[in-house]
Structure 1
């Protein structure tokens, strides 16, 4: 069977993911939202100094947006040995370099158009060779050097807000650390790109409009292998958020696409189901782990916050151009046919077949997978629960029957 290519706003999807990553970073080190987008904007403005354009400029923006893509992975692995409080108080340079290693590996299968090798790996290196990998600026790719300076500028700017006093501090900071933390070229590029007035504009949302003006948001056609790599990249970031759901998103993506194919969906919509499944829980990035991993029953307030994750999925994916269909398939996975689901209270008349499939698959995957606090249920027991839910008007009985039939034979 021929697998048709899929058209995706990849830059918009990466930008949406950066918002989700910012939620994690805000939870960990109190960096304000849109950190990734501001780093990307500062980076592409600095790139003017070297006349970086076209594909290379887009790739720089994507690397900047994803420079902290391994943060959830780093936190997850550290939590196996330490508490949340310990991690927040011990983000030393020696430990931070781990997320550079993980992050570099994670982006290796993304569809960059130019060579971005080591852009993530070395984005915490110092010009004088005193960074985690002890590389001097001549050994560090230009993209990594740009992102390193842009990252620090945003962190410093956010510590007091992007005002005139902070601009003066940053100018002094760059002069003091030129050829030590940052190479002269990058310092000159930043001073070439920004004035006090344009720096202060980073405090409002106008910079994001300017970012998308520099980096056009155009849909691009990708083969299915590339699309699957993109989907798995996002699913892994989401699943690292909590040890309770270590492969949940990947499992939902795989099962949703398999069931859709079994039910006669064409190849394009089968691929879209995979993408929607991979992204359905991206909103959980905005929910604190004290709620996601609470061992006891959630309070009414905590459960209300937990329910918001599907709404966050909707909000995050709304920032991707021409992604409404996949967004809805992903975000409506907790809606019920009787209108008592969340967060939108959709009714049967408002829920199409792909959305109904996603709701069933999400429940099936959650019940059958092992988690730290429970053993996964058998296929038969899970299907019995789904049948009971269908009888109560929660989910589609036709789909639950197809699910019982199909996953019993594969």
Structure 2
């Protein structure tokens, strides 16, 4: 595919950071917008070194995604532990594991500058007592900046706002200068934030507007390979949320793109539908695993909470500039032609073909994939169920028929 897709990649990273914040809020009680606050503190500190242009953009991207492997870490390393143990491990042990995973994941993101080891070492201490025992002069500057910004935001979250919080932060930084943090980064923080009033914007959310003023939301053009890598990066974060759907987003993305090609979509729209498939369940990051992983029938209240995920997908992806089309394709995958779907109760007249495709492909993928509590259905059985849904006015009958043809010789 030679055609290229233009994406607000920094906005997409910001949207993803919101989804990651939902996990941190669930596990360690860090309030939302943690990733964006870390990014804001980081880019304010960067002025001390006169960091500008592409470097500043990449610092912001790393800060927004510094905890990108959180769901993977929880899934692979802590799945047998209780939430209490998760909290303890996240704060005291094994932080190197989510750094290792995160560093590997981030290679899929097209940075403009070298950000090697930034995610890997963002929990290192200046005196060499961190997870990898690297001293400050062995740690990339961006990692040192993000480490301080991350720590300060967590402290601010725990101590509240106002002069008392500011005084505590100042004392903490001075006490841990040349221990947890190198002197340069401490100086950079006090250069950026000279008094409590300059720091107060982090608690009243006005910082977000300032963040995007400093970091312009410039769209970047990506070829198909890069677009796929970006989509897979975000899909992996979503799919690790629950072992019950460990490859669902990737599966939807792959099948939606394959089907779109089958019915004659051009390469740009194939890329768009792949990206929509990868992101369609990003809203599930805001839904607790006790609901996502319940093998029994959900109660009415639980099902109501589960249905919220499509609305969260819409909300999260609304943060990305010029992303409305992909957002709608992603978020409307539970809408029904008879108007009884969710999150908005769209009718047939309001649902275009890509949105109808996403609804059918999501069902097809969910029914055919294996889950811990069930074996996936055959292609034939799944198509019979899709046809039945079409007869009831839930999904598009033409698309259902074409899915039978498209995947008949494969699955």
TM-score, normalising length: structure 1 = 0.98
Residue of structure 2 equivalent to 1:292:
292
Q: CA deviation digits over 1:135-185, x for unaligned, max 9?
A: 000000000000000000100011122211100011110110000000000
After superposition, residues 391-410 of structure 1 pair within 5 angstroms as 391-410=391-410
Residue of structure 2 equivalent to 1:30:
29
Distance in 2 (CA, whole Å) between partners of 1:256 and 1:286 is 24
Residue of structure 1 equivalent to 2:224:
224
Q: Please report how far the alpha carbon of residue 89 of structure 1 lies from its aligned counterpart in structure 2 after TM superposition.
A: 3.5
Residue of structure 2 equivalent to 1:75:
74
SS in 1 for 2:180: coil
Distance in 2 (CA, whole Å) between partners of 1:406 and 1:270 is 15
Q: Please report how far the alpha carbon of residue 315 of structure 1 lies from its aligned counterpart in structure 2 after TM superposition.
A: 0.2
Residue of structure 2 equivalent to 1:45:
44
For the 8 Å contact 2:89–2:95, the answer to whether it is kept is no
Q: Please report how far the alpha carbon of residue 299 of structure 1 lies from its aligned counterpart in structure 2 after TM superposition.
A: 1.3
Q: Please report how far the alpha carbon of residue 200 of structure 1 lies from its aligned counterpart in structure 2 after TM superposition.
A: 1.3
Residue of structure 2 equivalent to 1:361:
361
Count of residue pairs the alignment pairs up: 409
Distance in 2 (CA, whole Å) between partners of 1:96 and 1:346 is 44
Q: CA deviation digits over 1:98-119, x for unaligned, max 9?
A: 1000000000121100000010
Residue of structure 2 equivalent to 1:196:
196
Q: Please report how far the alpha carbon of residue 92 of structure 1 lies from its aligned counterpart in structure 2 after TM superposition.
A: 4.6
Structure 2 stretches lacking a partner, 5+ long = none
Distance in 1 (CA, whole Å) between partners of 2:177 and 2:138 is 17
For the 8 Å contact 1:93–1:132, the answer to whether it is kept is no
Distance in 2 (CA, whole Å) between partners of 1:80 and 1:89 is 14
Distance in 1 (CA, whole Å) between partners of 2:392 and 2:96 is 51
Residue of structure 2 equivalent to 1:276:
276
Q: Please report how far the alpha carbon of residue 77 of structure 1 lies from its aligned counterpart in structure 2 after TM superposition.
A: 1.0
Q: CA deviation digits over 1:222-280, x for unaligned, max 9?
A: 11111100000000000000000000000000000110111111110011000000000
Q: Is 2:199 the counterpart of 1:166?
A: no
Distance in 2 (CA, whole Å) between partners of 1:30 and 1:84 is 12
Q: Please report how far the alpha carbon of residue 302 of structure 1 lies from its aligned counterpart in structure 2 after TM superposition.
A: 0.9
Q: Is 2:314 the counterpart of 1:314?
A: yes
Distance in 2 (CA, whole Å) between partners of 1:107 and 1:26 is 22
Residue of structure 2 equivalent to 1:106:
105
CA-atom RMSD in angstroms: 0.9
Worse-superposed segment, 294-303 or 100-109: 294-303
Structure 1 stretches lacking a partner, 5+ long = none
Distance in 2 (CA, whole Å) between partners of 1:318 and 1:309 is 14
Distance in 2 (CA, whole Å) between partners of 1:382 and 1:79 is 34
Residue of structure 2 equivalent to 1:328:
328
Q: CA deviation digits over 1:266-324, x for unaligned, max 9?
A: 11001100000000000000001111112322111111010000000000000000000
Worse-superposed segment, 38-47 or 84-93: 84-93
Q: Please report how far the alpha carbon of residue 196 of structure 1 lies from its aligned counterpart in structure 2 after TM superposition.
A: 1.3
Residue of structure 1 equivalent to 2:376:
376
For the 8 Å contact 1:335–1:345, the answer to whether it is kept is yes
Residue of structure 1 equivalent to 2:18:
19
